[in-house]
Amino acid sequence: MRTKILSLLENDSRLTTKDIAAMLGVEEAAVAADIKAMEDGKIICGYHTMIDWDKVSEEKVTALIEVKVTPQRGQGFDKIAERIYNFDEVSSVYLMAGTYDLAVFINGKSLKEVSSFVYDKLATMETVISTQTNFVLRKYKDHGLVFDRAKSEDERLAIVP
């Protein structure tokens, strides 16, 4: 039952325990107890709202920064990742397999603010070997949610004889 509850909440965190109980055909008290236990056990880590910032007048820039680092003896990548994720600008940090070690997602008000973060805070860390910054131009899908772009059905140009 826990996996089903988690899937439902992941898709819509506004569901009530009553809604979930009805969907699963179980008692509301059982659902409430399971959710509480999963919150206490840090299985459920928070509830988030997806916002299409392109539809808001406030300018916002999202960047993916690929970071190569030298792992620290006895601590590997964990201590470096912790230093990075403690910066306010950082929204996510992932350990990667491939051409770089860490994927760092940050949000800023402008390209200048993002670049300032990279060269003032990130690139100056003694364990950072190199960085590559990639700016998000448009989100099409995020966390399973497809962003509506309200496009017409046929965007081809009309050819007039």
Confidence (pLDDT) at 153: 55
Q: What is the pLDDT of residue 19?
A: 94
Question: Model confidence over 96-142: pLDDT tens digits?
Answer: 999 999 999 999 999 999 999 999 999 999 999 999 999 999 888 88
Question: In 3D, which of 72, 71, 67 has the Cα closest to residue 96?
Answer: 67
What was the pLDDT predicted at 85? 97
**DSSP result, 105-149:** EEEESSHHHHHHHIIIIITTSTTEEEEEEEE----SEETTEEPP-
| Cα 62 to Cα 12, 14, 102, 114, 133, distances in angstroms | 24, 26, 16, 8, 10
3-state secondary structure of 155: coil
**What residues does 66 pair with on adjacent strands?**
103, 132
Give the tokens for residue 125.
């860390």
